[in-house]
Amino acid sequence: MAVNLLLGLQWGDEGKGKIVDVLTKNYDIIARFQGGPNAGHTLIFDGNKHVLHTIPSGIFHENTKNVVGNGVVIDPVIFKKELENLDQHDVNYTDKLLISRKAHIILPTHRLLDAASETSKGKAKIGSTLKGIGPTYMDKTGRNGIRVGDLELDNWKEKYNALTAKHIKMLDFFDVQIEYNLEELEAEFCEGIDKLKTLEFIDSEEYLNNAIKEKKTILAEGAQGSLLDIDFGTYPYVTSSNTTAAGACTGLGIAPNRIGDVFGIFKAYTTRVGSGPFPTELFDEDGETMGRVGHEFGATTGRPRRCGWLDLVALKYAIQVNGVTQLMMMKADVLSGFSKIKVCTSYNYKGEEIAHLPYNIEPVNVSVNYTEFKGWKADLTKMTSKEELPENLMQYIEFIEKETGVPVKIVSVGPDRKQTILR
């Protein structure tokens, strides 16, 4: 049985959590493959809103296993809070939440290093969520990290103490002062570790490949978006993992020839939170309207998201890098009421009109060309079938399909699980 992937094609927050939740009924296993608590995946159903950071978005379904893969980085403190939220909603996770022994652990000092690095960068800061993601992946690739499997060994505390001591020395290298109380941080960290240890640790690559042999269905859940990928994103304004399809292979131990469909999620417009180039960003009333109507505030940090029109140049790039087979358009409802809808179809770059993503898309290098569509007035949020969708929206969707060569299979018309139209 093939493993299907679901990933974001823009700068994150496309609505991955919502769609994983919608699709979970078709799968035996949902597996997160990268990122950590920098992610915020929102699910809304039965009048409740849930935001998941590390836990896969299939957790609310009775019969689905949820795997936190080896590519994920876990902060035990945040993880414990996520579990406590599930407790409040009487979600029984003990039998269905499985943690890879090879997943790396975010230490309190990783968060401090993240803060020191960002503060010292001043205006050039990445706009990190400050969850310690960069420093943890640095320790992973630097071969210094602590993994979940280490918690089963007697000497993990020694490893922890040695790494923490090194981090504290490293803090001195930054020309900024970070206030912290290590004792307090360690107390909550230890509580988090104790909670984490109540869950089942697995050799996740073995578990998933056995599941494939047993013809179980698996959906791999991405975090962040393709333009935040460490290799293919708008470097250095990216996250520290491979958010693209290849990240699912390394983040779960699944071979490329096991991948089936790749579901690419995008908003009908574009948002970005944090620093970095964003060619179609709007600084006018249209951008303000998108932010207001779309409630564009980060699910993890609460920061306002920057808003702009859909960028087809960037979208095609993401589709190519990921091998997307089906598209899912999110937040179409937010565009209702705009008299004109614009979509970026080419860039001006070094005096030439180009239709591919160049090395550097900073505003000094790139300006955008738009194709315009007529807007629609109808409220989409109560619509339940594709026949109800306004003609002008259909023209917009069909243009995207023609340009990308990939069908748009889902149109999302509101944040609730039920506000999802299949095409």
> What is the binding site for ligand GDP (CB under 6 A)?
8, 12-18, 39-42, 44, 294-295, 299, 330-331, 333-334, 412-415
Q: How far apart are CA 26 and CA 33, in angstroms?
A: 19
User: CA 148, 130, 228 angle in degrees (round to 5)?
Assistant: 85
**Which pairs from 181-188 meet CB under 8 Å and 24+ separation?**
182/108, 182/109, 185/108, 185/109, 186/108, 188/77, 188/108
Judged by CB under 6 A, which stretch of 78-86, 128-136, 144-152, 245-253 contacts ligand IMO? 128-136
Closest approach, Cβ 129 to ligand GDP, in A, equals 11
Q: How far apart are CA 18 and CA 98, in angstroms?
A: 21
Closest approach, Cβ 241 to ligand IMO, in A, equals 8
Judged by CB under 6 A, which stretch of 84-92, 101-109, 131-139, 353-361 contacts ligand IMO? 131-139
- 329: which strand partners? 266, 411
Q: Which does 4 bind (CB under 5 to 8 A by kind): ligand GDP, ligand IMO, Mg ion, none?
A: none
Q: Which does 279 bind (CB under 5 to 8 A by kind): ligand GDP, Mg ion, ligand IMO, none?
A: none
Q: How far apart are CA 307 and CA 294, in angstroms?
A: 10
Cβ burial of 283 (10 Å; 0-12, 13-18, 19+) is exposed
Q: Which does 331 bind (CB under 5 to 8 A by kind): ligand IMO, Mg ion, ligand GDP, none?
A: ligand GDP
Judged by CB under 6 A, which stretch of 10-18, 73-81, 96-104, 356-364 contacts ligand IMO? 10-18
Q: Which does 397 bind (CB under 5 to 8 A by kind): Mg ion, ligand GDP, ligand IMO, none?
A: none
Q: How far apart are CA 361 and CA 147, in angstroms?
A: 36
Closest approach, Cβ 393 to Mg ion, in A, equals 24
The angle, 0 to 180 degrees and rounded to 10, between the axes of the packed helices 312-322 and 391-404 is 50
| Pairing state between β 420-422 and 352-354 | unpaired
Closest approach, Cβ 51 to ligand GDP, in A, equals 7
Residue closer to ligand GDP by CB (options 167, 305) is 305
Residue closer to ligand IMO by CB (options 13, 139) is 13
131 binds ligand IMO (CB under 6 A): yes
Q: Which does 66 bind (CB under 5 to 8 A by kind): ligand IMO, Mg ion, ligand GDP, none?
A: none
Q: How far apart are CA 321 and CA 226, in angstroms?
A: 8
Residues with catalytic roles: 13, 41
As given in the structure block, the two tokens for residue 256 are 């490329």
Instruction: Tell me the residue type at 32.
Output: R
Q: How many CB atoms lie within 10 A of CB 181?
A: 9
Contacts of 377 (CB under 8 A, 6+ apart): 336, 337, 390
**Subset of 342-401 contacting ligand IMO (CB under 6 A):** none
Residues that bind Mg ion (CB under 5 A): 13, 40, 299
Residues that bind ligand IMO (CB under 6 A): 8, 11-13, 35, 38-41, 126-129, 131, 133-134, 223-225, 228, 239, 273-274, 299
